[in-house]
Amino acid sequence: MNCSETTSKYYRVNRLPHIWCAGCGHGTLTNTVVRAIDKLKLNKDEVVIVSGIGCSSRAPGYLDFNTLHTTHGRALAFATGIKLANPKLHVIVIMGDGDSSAIGGNHLIHAARRNIDITTIVFNNNIYGMTGGQFSPTTPYGDLATTAAYGNIDKPFDLCSLAQGAGATYVGRATAYHAVLMQKLIEKGIQNKGFSFIEGLSICPTYYGRKNKKGNAFKMHSFLKENCIDKKLVDKDPDKGRNKILIGEFYNNPQPEYIESYQVIIDMFQG
């Protein structure tokens, strides 16, 4: 399916243009979500996209599914209610880095711990963009932000390790540059019966990039291209991973899913 077909089938075209800055990685990442849904031929009526607050969270508004734009950090808690109330629905959560791991960090680890069948996609641009460039829990150590005027002294989270450690059963990372891989990971995440966590490294040329002299959007995409390496290659040759950002499928280990476990309890009382 080409771009315009995808657009007309899955986007609320009358809601476009989107609010994202020129060069922002979020549009590409949103498209990988749409293409994954298309590839899996999911029924649009049965897809729910939930988001929190921030630049990333505007994505669902452009998409022609059941869409819910919630409060900051709480997307997974809303999503948990939806999924539990109607397990037939495919629930996909789109969050930002601050959204998912600062204000929503507690909800992230507990949704992962329960292994509830929700696919979580984090658009990680290392900054609070919507509010104008404050440091987030994924802003690298030493980098500048409007609230880290002398360099960030907070240590950043590795979101994938966090999710895996908390109990996610499918974990992977790709980038706005590695869109094909991103789409593939999302497909597998949706297919995983359990909590899936896919981090999409995005770029924010407007705030993070400008503040830290990372160059324009082209340069920032080039950075992703040149500094990321698939885990599979590093597994074969660990030297290749030195000073690189790992991408690819990190963890795929299906475990009993929360709602299925709950259904066993319900079934105890039937007939």
Residues that bind another protein (CB under 8 A): 12, 15, 44-46, 48, 50, 60-61, 64-71, 74, 76-86, 88-89, 106-107, 110, 262, 265-266, 268-270
Cβ–Cβ under 8 Å, residues 111 and 117: no
Q: How far is the CB of 113 from another protein (least distance, A)?
A: 9
SS3 call for 196? strand
Strand partners, 198: 121, 172
CB of 88 to another protein, least distance (A): 7
The H-assigned helical ranges of the chain are 3-10, 26-39, 75-85, 97-98, 105-114, 159-166, 179-191, 210-211, 217-227, 231-236, 258-268
The CB-of-198 to another protein minimum distance in angstroms stands at: 21
Distance in Å, CB of 106 to another protein, minimum:
5
Distance between CA atoms of residues 76 and 79, nearest Å = 5
With beta carbons less than 8 A apart as the criterion, state whether 240 and 174 touch. no
Measured distance CA(186)–CA(110) in Å, rounded: 21
Q: In the complex, what is the shortest distance from the CB of residue 93 to another protein, in angstroms, rounded to a whole number?
A: 11
Helix pair angle (75-85, 105-114), 10° resolution: 30
**CB closer to another protein out of 79 and 121:** 79
